[in-house]
């Protein structure tokens, strides 16, 4: 049986393990928190630090394939493992580019896909040389996640909020839509695309509020988005699953924001909404099976379930029974013991042929279902 390792045991690892249950594969998780959402679902749990060379190398050395649920992993250990024949998804060359927002932006420029104009800054004081970039977005090169590591800058006074570390300063795009394209690449180079997802961002938390798939966009924008995302993924020259996040502006220009080389929040609807989910698809890629069918069974919306403001402690879910009683609604609770404001604790998928029903139920669920403390 193929031995497959996942670096990180959060919700993405958990959903990958749920999909792995359909396949002949022995699963291994490396994660520091032994109470993490994945611990009891894998065959073998190793407590360890995914950013530590020894921990990652020792974890991976007996395995056939290794994937990640987060980019912040020790790339040197993965490089050594890759050199020794372990297949890493994504490959380490692609991971190295994606891990740094500077290298990522330079990559998009080099392959000539549209992405916001940017300059590299190394310290907060550098920002003052780039007042012509305002309004802008400052993004830390390494370690950002879920909007942490991103600061919006409207005036020079905002430079104070800037990062005193390598970062990119990007011209602000007047965003009309945030789209995500999930794309899978097999080990033999076969490629399949999921339909575009429309991500509606909560401006306050800088976190996905809800998403709709397929995105309601004109066909010509959809073709453009697909072509751009496909080019990005082809140029990474790696098997795996990728989420290419794109913006459109008020003139319907397309920009690549960033790429995640892994299963992604914007693809969670695919568990119920598509014939082959993003999690199923990654196993097909890693185990060398034919790729699955990305078509939708029904259009979907997703609501992320995040920890309420002012609630830090052991999690409790209010409104769960009411939401579980709704038709064509699927609740995923990730099994994290502790909640804190903005923490991703679960998601809910809604299926319907009626766009109005998707939105109505999404709003209803946001009102009903809350993560609070006991």
- Positions touching ligand ADP (CB under 6 A) are 116, 137, 139, 144-147, 149-150, 170, 172-173, 175, 178, 201, 206, 245, 257-258
Query: C-alpha 158: how far from its chain's center?
Result: 28
Instruction: Please report the sign of the dihedral spanned by the C-alpha atoms of residue 326, residue 330, residue 336, residue 341.
Output: negative
CB nearer to ligand ADP: pick between 77 and 243:
243
**In the bound complex, what is the minimum distance in angstroms from residue 246's beta carbon to ligand ADP?**
11
**In the bound complex, what is the minimum distance in angstroms from residue 336's beta carbon to ligand ADP?**
20
Q: Closest residue (Cβ) to ligand ADP?
A: 173
CB nearer to ligand ADP: pick between 99 and 361:
99
CB nearer to ligand ADP: pick between 64 and 106:
106
How many residues comprise the chain?
374
**In the bound complex, what is the minimum distance in angstroms from residue 150's beta carbon to ligand ADP?**
4
The CA distances from residue 270 to 2, 120, 277, in Å, are 25, 36, 4
Phi, psi torsion values for 267, nearest 5 degrees = -110, 10
**In the bound complex, what is the minimum distance in angstroms from residue 260's beta carbon to ligand ADP?**
8
Instruction: Give the C-alpha separation, 12 to 20, whole Å.
Output: 12
The answer to whether 185 and 177 are in contact (CB under 8 A) is no
CB nearer to ligand ADP: pick between 63 and 153:
153
**In the bound complex, what is the minimum distance in angstroms from residue 89's beta carbon to ligand ADP?**
20
The DSSP bridge pattern shows strands 197-202 and 175-185 to be antiparallel
Cα Rg of the chain (Å, integer): 20
CB nearer to ligand ADP: pick between 108 and 330:
108
Helix (H) or strand (E) holding 259: strand 254-260
Instruction: Give the C-alpha separation, 160 to 226, whole Å.
Output: 38
Query: C-alpha 216: how far from its chain's center?
Result: 21
CB nearer to ligand ADP: pick between 51 and 187:
51
**In the bound complex, what is the minimum distance in angstroms from residue 118's beta carbon to ligand ADP?**
8
């Amino acid at each position: 049986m193929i031995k497959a390792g996942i670096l990180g045991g959060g919700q993405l690892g958990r959903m990958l393990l749920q999909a792995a249950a359909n396949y002949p594969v022995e699963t291994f998780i490396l994660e520091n928190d032994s109470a993490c959402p994945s611990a009891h679902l894998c065959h073998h749990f190793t407590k360890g630090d995914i950013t530590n060379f020894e921990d990652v190398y020792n974890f991976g050395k007996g395995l056939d394939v290794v994937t990640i649920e987060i980019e912040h992993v020790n790339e040197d250990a993965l490089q050594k493992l890759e050199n020794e024949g372990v297949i890493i998804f994504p490959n380490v060359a692609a991971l190295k580019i994606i891990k740094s927002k500077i290298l990522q932006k330079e990559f998009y420029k080099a392959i000539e896909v549209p992405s916001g104009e940017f300059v590299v800054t190394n310290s907060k004081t550098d920002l003052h040389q780039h007042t012509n970039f305002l309004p802008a977005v400052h993004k830390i090169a390494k370690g950002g996640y879920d909007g942490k590591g991103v600061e919006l800058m409207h005036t020079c006074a905002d430079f104070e909020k800037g990062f005193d570390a390598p970062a990119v300063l990007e011209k602000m795009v007047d965003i009309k839509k945030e789209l995500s394209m999930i794309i899978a690449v097999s080990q033999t180079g076969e490629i399949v695309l999921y339909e575009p997802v429309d991500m509606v961002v909560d401006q306050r938390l800088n976190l996905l509020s809800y998403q709709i798939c397929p995105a309601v966009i004109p066909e010509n924008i959809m073709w453009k988005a697909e072509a751009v995302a496909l080019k990005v993924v082809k140029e990474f020259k790696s098997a795996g699953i990728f989420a290419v996040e794109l913006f459109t502006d008020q003139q319907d220009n397309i920009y690549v924001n960033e790429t995640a080389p892994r299963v992604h929040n914007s693809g969670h609807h695919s568990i119920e909404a598509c014939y082959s989910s993003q999690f199923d698809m990654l196993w097909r890629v890693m185990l060398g099976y034919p790729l699955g069918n990305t078509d939708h069974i029904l259009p979907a919306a997703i609501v992320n379930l995040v920890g309420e403001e002012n609630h830090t402690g052991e999690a409790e879910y209010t409104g769960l029974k009411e939401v579980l009683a709704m038709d064509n609604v699927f609740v995923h609770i990730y099994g994290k013991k502790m909640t804190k404001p903005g923490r991703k604790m679960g998601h809910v998928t809604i299926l319907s042929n009626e766009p109005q029903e998707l939105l109505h139920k999404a709003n209803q669920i946001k009102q009903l279902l809350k993560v609070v403390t006991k």
